[in-house]
Amino acid sequence: MITKDEFVKNYDVKKLDERFSVETFDCGDKDLNDFIREEAELYKSQLLAMPYILTKKYETNEILAYFTLANDKINVTDFVSNSQFNKFRKANFNKEKYLRSYPSVKIGRLAISKELQGLGIGTHILRFIKIYFLSDNKTGCRFITLDAYRGAVDFYKRNGFSFLQKEDTNPTQLMYFDLMTINSDSFI
């Protein structure tokens, strides 16, 4: 497992641009490979999501991992019933803060190059995103959301994500992370 220091020293997180070779990226999942190769630039130019990439510092145009971020919200339609939404509000907020929806950012996609999986890079990227939205409170963003692949649910659980709805048999499962549950000082 790489440490936080190794991550900061050796890797850069950047916005995707034409300098980077999307063609050679391979995380072992066809949909995620196709997205970075064929669709990411369009999502970026149409302001539908921002694709970020991980590269080795000072080196090459090789993409080691990527993720996308887009504005999102958690609202009543994400739950099977109004009472489930009310339960969620009750668990996270006091009554004065009962809103119809809550601001969040969505990790649309997250993929690590095949040879680098299992080394801790995915965990570091999630930490990076948590800090990014916590530090300076840029937009007022309370939650991180994502649609987890079934095979990646345990990975997200280990990183503090929970289900918004009861677990079902869909190929992806909506999960969230509450940014108020972390102490930003512990990341510095």
Which residues lie near ligand COA (CB under 6 A)? 27-29, 32, 110-112, 117-123, 148-149, 151-152, 154-155, 158
Strand ranges of the sheet holding 162-163, from the earlier edge strand across to the other edge: 11-15, 50-56, 65-75, 101-112, 143-149, 172-178, 162-163
Q: For the chain, where are the E strands, in sequence order?
A: 11-15, 50-56, 65-75, 101-112, 143-149, 162-163, 172-178
**CA–CA separation, 36 and 43 (whole Å):** 10
Nearest-approach distance from CB 107 to ligand COA, in angstroms: 8
- What DSSP string runs through 120-170? SHHHHHHHHHHHHHHGGG-S---EEEEEEEGGGHHHHHHTT-EESS---SS
Nearest-approach distance from CB 46 to ligand COA, in angstroms: 22
Element (H, E) at 88: helix 82-92
For ligand COA, the closer CB: 93 or 149: 149
Nearest-approach distance from CB 120 to ligand COA, in angstroms: 4
For ligand COA, the closer CB: 86 or 170: 170
Closest-approach residue to ligand COA (CB): 122
Nearest-approach distance from CB 124 to ligand COA, in angstroms: 7
For ligand COA, the closer CB: 123 or 165: 123
Nearest-approach distance from CB 181 to ligand COA, in angstroms: 19
Tokens of 44: 């970026």
For ligand COA, the closer CB: 12 or 154: 154
For ligand COA, the closer CB: 76 or 152: 152
- Evaluate the CA torsion angle 140, 143, 165, 33 in order and state its sign: positive
For ligand COA, the closer CB: 85 or 156: 156
Nearest-approach distance from CB 116 to ligand COA, in angstroms: 7
